[in-house]
Amino acid sequence: MPTIDINYSDLPVSPEALRLKVLAWADTFPLVAYYYDHQLPYPHQGFRHMLAVSAGKPLTIDHNNPFESLRAQLQQKQLLCGYLGYDLKNSIEKLHSSHPDGLGFPELFFFVPDVILHFNESGVTIEYTDAYSESVLQTIVATPVPEPVKPEGIIIQQRVARQDYIRNVEKVKQHILEGDVYELNYCMEFFAEQADVAPLPLYLALSEASPTPFSGYLKCNDKYLLCASPERFLKKEGTTIVSQPIKGTIKRGKTEEEDEQLRHQLRHDEKELAENMMIVDLVRNDLSRSCATGSVNVEEMFGIYGFRQVWQMISTITGSIKPANDLVDVLLGAFPMGSMTGAPKISTMQLIEELEVTKRGLYSGAFGYITPVQDCDFNVVIRSIQYNASKKYLSFMVGSAITYDSVPEKEYEECLLKAQGILKVLQI
């Protein structure tokens, strides 16, 4: 693809104004994927800052065999942008999903970009297909910066009432007592019908309120993902695989002293440590399926990282892929991520289907990109708004990890804490 390299100093607008203009320009396309790390420090770095658009159609996927469709497409050695939906679990294991789905996102979605913008500290590189020209830059600079749009008339409903949530947590604890599962991630939906929102300004508001290393904006024709995820599912760079599950959450303090006390409290909370350790063991097992014997290591255990709303406990696991395996083998071994299921994985996914009342869809799936050499970076789709513009249906989900020591009322409060950032952006 032809490329243009532009220094910020040569442009008539600031780097931030250019970023906003790029997003507004991109939003005129039917397919958009934007990845932004907010320049936050993070082990193994966050998303590369990149935007991709296409005027065409997404890849055709055989939904009876989605991973083989993806494997075949990887042979074309092109950049692929998109996501893996949670319900791909049914293509990996003998599972099913029967709950209502108000959004209608495909289970697997990728597209090949027509134009790609790579942002760096000094400027931006634009790659484009033959259907475009160097005038892309002039068009972008001439595009107005998107105006903030205040959401109005959105009535958020909670799919699961407090008493039902607490009752189901007690059911999970009983299953743990009986040895069916050790830990389970139980989630619930918040939704709004007849929600008339402007997705891009809403994403920008969410991104400003909750800056994270795995922020993203996806437009899939009439469907949108507005993502403020702090969590990496899986990164592949050369032969190195990195997974960074999050388990352990506490609010930020109002003062420096309180903030430090809460950070210390999370780092020494036995329940949170146990949750994190169980998921680390699960991820180690998942990566060992596709990585060389003895190469899977826990690089960091129980790291405490601060975000705008919360402190999070994050562990980092790495491995080296076996020479005979490809990226699809890695995904098949690790998806869906253990931090969003629990352990053991198959049993928890069966129980999740029994207890939850909404199809997860893209929530707790993975949004990211795959490079022409089969490197990749995928986040975990949490702290995110999904929106179907045709149906005017807006949705977000939150959840918490249930263990035998869980106090149902506290787990419910944790869910509300995780919903706080989105509710604030929706001005509710």
pTM: 0.97
Q: Which residues contact 14 (CB under 8 A, 6 or more apart)?
A: 8
Q: In the structure encoding, which two tokens stand for residue 173, read together? A: 């604890």
**Where do we find the tokens 């001439």?**
142
What distance in Å separates the CA atoms of residue 232 and residue 209, rounded to the nearest whole number? 20
CA distances to 275, 325, 353, 358 from 98, rounded to whole Å, are: 28, 33, 8, 9
pLDDT (tens, 9 = 90+) of the chain, 428 residues, equals 899 999 999 999 999 999 999 999 999 999 999 999 999 999 999 999 999 999 999 999 998 999 999 999 999 999 999 999 999 999 999 999 999 999 999 999 999 999 999 999 999 999 999 889 889 999 999 999 998 888 888 999 999 999 999 999 999 999 999 999 999 999 999 999 999 999 999 999 999 999 999 999 999 999 999 999 999 999 999 999 999 999 999 999 999 999 999 999 999 999 999 999 999 999 999 999 999 999 999 999 999 999 988 999 999 999 999 999 999 999 999 999 999 999 999 999 999 999 999 999 999 999 999 999 999 999 999 999 999 999 999 999 999 999 999 999 999 999 998 898 899 999 87
What distance in Å separates the CA atoms of residue 331 and residue 326, rounded to the nearest whole number? 9
Q: Which residues contact 169 (CB under 8 A, 6 or more apart)?
A: 186, 402, 406, 408, 411, 412
Using left for φ > 0, alpha for ψ between -120 and 50, and beta otherwise, residue 427 falls in left
What structural domains and CATH numbers belong to the chain? 3-142+152-425 (3.60.120.10)
